[in-house]
Amino acid sequence: QKEVEQNSGPLSVPEGAIASLNCTYSDRGSQSFFWYRQYSGKSPELIMSIYSNGDKEDGRFTAQLNKASQYVSLLIRDSQPSDSATYLCAVNRGSGGGADGLTFGKGTHLIIQP
Amino acid sequence: DTGVSQDPRHKITKRGQNVTFRCDPISEHNRLYWYRQTLGQGPEFLTYFQNEAQLEKSRLLSDRFSAERPKGSFSTLEIQRTEQGDSAMYLCASSHRTGVTEAFFGQGTRLTVV
């Protein structure tokens, strides 16, 4: 059973600063990695996907993957109060790259302080 | 392009009753997933379909749970003889079979068993 570990937080970051969210995973063979944002009482919303080592940028968001260290992170630049949410890290469950579903961490609760 | 739609959004039921939830995936997506999420936890995989075929069901899933996707379009999740421990958010997601495996979630159905 794959495991995904995240610090549950809360992680408090001043508005305008960089928020750094981290995730480790147990299965070295994992291929696909995803970050979801979840507001309280709402469903998860896909923010980023990353499949190769290195960085992937999309607007204010950057996902970083280091397969050797089994580590994936999400950076949020110029943090806004609207970024306050729980961020879920997910990896592919089986060998299908994510097509057979995802294993999620418990999420990190991020608070952006105005 | 409509997103994943779930119905109902909320359901309160008495212990021992049966409940059924519906999910309509994004129209061109042939993979459909059901997850369950409780407070403070990430979504937990329940089962998934490719078209009308149910390809996998979580070993942790009680026999009281059953899911169908009869024509490869919408899906239903039924819980028989509900228990208080079934109270959770039930999430449906869909994705393409090949290529991009990013999964998109519906709004969820929040079940409360009293």
3-state secondary structure of B84: helix
Q: Is the CB of B48 less than 8 angstroms away from the CB of A101? A: yes
CB pairs under 8 A between A and B: 60
Closest CA to A66 of A78, A82, A55, A79: A55
Return the higher-pLDDT residue of B29 and B80. B80
Q: Is the pLDDT of residue B54 over 60?
A: yes
Q: Is the pLDDT of residue B5 over 70?
A: yes
d(CA A6, CA A85): 14
Over residues B59-85, the mean pLDDT reads 94
Q: Would an 8 Å CB–CB cutoff place A95 in contact with chain B?
A: no
Nearest by CB to B102, from A42, A43, A49: name it: A49
C-alpha of A79 from chain center: 15
What secondary structure does DSSP assign to B9-55, as a single string?
SEEEE-TT--EEEEEE--TT--EEEEEEE-TTS--EEEEEEETTEEE
**Chain A residues touching B94 at Cβ < 8 A:** none
d(CA B36, CA A94): 18
Return the higher-pLDDT residue of A92 and B99. A92
Give the per-residue pLDDT at B26. 93
Q: In Å, how far are B84, B101, B104 from A2, measured between CA atoms? A: 28, 18, 21
Neighbour tally for B12: CB within 10 Å: 12
- DSSP-assigned beta bridge partners for residue A18: none
**Averaged pLDDT of chain B:** 93
Confidence of residue B71 (pLDDT cuts 50, 70, 90): confident
Residue ranges in chain A modelled with pLDDT below 70: 96-98
**Chain A residues touching B57 at Cβ < 8 A:** none
Nearest by CB to B106, from A43, A49, A106: name it: A43
- Residues with Cβ within 8 Å of B100's Cβ and at least 6 positions away in sequence, in order, are none
Nearest by CB to A104, from B43, B56, B101: name it: B43
Q: Is the CB of A44 less than 8 angstroms away from the CB of B105? A: yes
Q: A89 and A4 in contact (C-beta within 8 Å)?
A: yes
Give the per-residue pLDDT at B97. 66
Q: Is the pLDDT of residue B57 over 80?
A: yes
Give the per-residue pLDDT at A2. 82
Over residues B66-74, the mean pLDDT reads 93
Confidence of residue B99 (pLDDT cuts 50, 70, 90): low
Neighbour tally for B46: CB within 10 Å: 21
Q: Would an 8 Å CB–CB cutoff place A99 in contact with chain B?
A: yes
Q: Is the pLDDT of residue B23 over 70?
A: yes
Q: Is the pLDDT of residue B65 over 60?
A: yes
Phi, psi at B86, each rounded to 5° = -80, -10
Give the per-residue pLDDT at A100. 84
- DSSP-assigned beta bridge partners for residue B91: B35
Q: Is the CB of B101 less than 8 angstroms away from the CB of A103? A: no
